[in-house]
Amino acid sequence: ARSFSTESEAVKFDIAVPFETHLCDSPELSSLATKEELLEYHKVMYGMRRMEISCDQEYKAKNIRGFCHLYDGQEAVAVGTQAALTNDDDWITTYRCHGTALVRGSTYQEIFEEQFGFEGGVVRGKGGSMHMYNKKTNFYGGAAIVGAQVPVGAGLGFFHKYKRKGEEKTPVSVAFYGDGSANQGQCWEAANMAALWKIPVIFVCENNMYGMGTSAERSSANTDYYKQGNFIPGIKIDGMDVLAVKEGMKFAKEYASSGNGPIYAEIKTYRYHGHSMSDPGITYRTRDEVSEVRQSRDPIELVKRRLIEAGFATEEELKATEKEIRGEVQKALTAAKASKVPEPEELYSDIYAAEDATQEGKRLASDIPEEIRMPDRAKTVYH
């Protein structure tokens, strides 16, 4: 998984958009970051952007099929959140999960292969675009059912509360959902249980302003998603600024890990593509709106400006880095295309536990079932 380490002396950067809070204090409007940190943020965010552009092209070429939800525009959310957490903290998110998979340790090639349905994919080609996981880094994947990951995230947090000893700080669970999920009943139920039991979970509304083609104003009576927890504190964060996300999520983690229970975080961001590849993204918003965000609030351009203004890098050096990253992504894509679909035996791997399934490092290399019960079509009402 991505590690954002520090080596050189940190520099203080101002955060332009103030945090908004509910029933809690506010973090300072500044962030300390080293040259190495900012260069790594730029590298990961730009690589994420190029990866998603490649996915767009491969989908249009019909090499990727089915659902495909791209993350370009929202890169600062995944990278800033990872910078605030450790891999001991659990993370579960929506079906727009390519970026999270990348920062939690999956490679470009694994993410490409997963979408091709190939054997070297994140989950060996069985999950596709919406279902990527990494057990080693406690990434519990993308969930295809709107809002369904939120109660699972609360359950992951309950594990940490259950294992807590005394007053020690615990890892936290972060449960991401979109503004289109915010009014799901299961989200409210999970929040209520988390508040009653003081579960260390951060409920993160990744608000990209549109649930499919419906604006937040048309879908929610209360668009202040960070206040939706009522008695649960909340914080609103500028999701186009990686340093704001880092500081806001550090604040939320400190609160939840200290035994105070859950906290809400609304991270306001913007997606450049449509909801999915089947959505052109300009029937419910204008081209001018998308263009204005790209020109004035792009998260990668903000990191580049900070690097240049702090004297950490020149524009020519950043262009050279981006050229190198484009080559890395293309190399990974070429390698992914050279792979192949899994062997038929993968159909029943990781389903039925074999005798050696509990041994350290073993997959659930399932025994072939003697019989697979199939539906009797003659007895169905739709036959």
Residue 373, exposed/middle/buried by CB under 10 A (0-12, 13-18, 19+)?
Answer: exposed
Tokens (6 digits) for 317: 């050096």
Nearest to 48 by CA among 130, 124, 111, 141: 111
Quote the Cα angle for 111-142-256, to 5°: 120
pLDDT for the residue numbered 112: 98
Structure letter (DSSP) for residue 338: T
Residue 206 · residue 267 · CB < 8 Å = yes
Average pLDDT by stretches of 10, the chain with 383 residues: 72 98 98 98 98 98 96 98 98 98 98 97 95 96 95 97 93 98 96 98 98 96 97 98 98 98 98 96 96 98 98 98 98 98 84 59 59 69 50
The residue with tokens 């903000």 is 302
Measured over the CA atoms of residue 143, residue 148, residue 150 and residue 151, the dihedral's sign is negative
Residue-level pLDDT at 383: 45
Retrieve residue 77's tokens. Answer: 């959310």
Q: Where are the beta strands (DSSP E) in the chain?
A: 11-14, 20-22, 30-33, 90-94, 139-143, 173-178, 201-207, 210-211, 214-215, 234-238, 263-268
Output the pLDDT for position 8: 81
Paired strand residues for 263:
202
| pTM summary value | 0.92
DSSP secondary structure of 288-328: HHHHHHHHHH-HHHHHHHHHHHTTS--HHHHHHHHHHHHHH
Contact indicator for 27, 19 with CB cutoff of 8 Å: yes
Q: What is the pLDDT at residue 362?
A: 57
DSSP state of 23: S
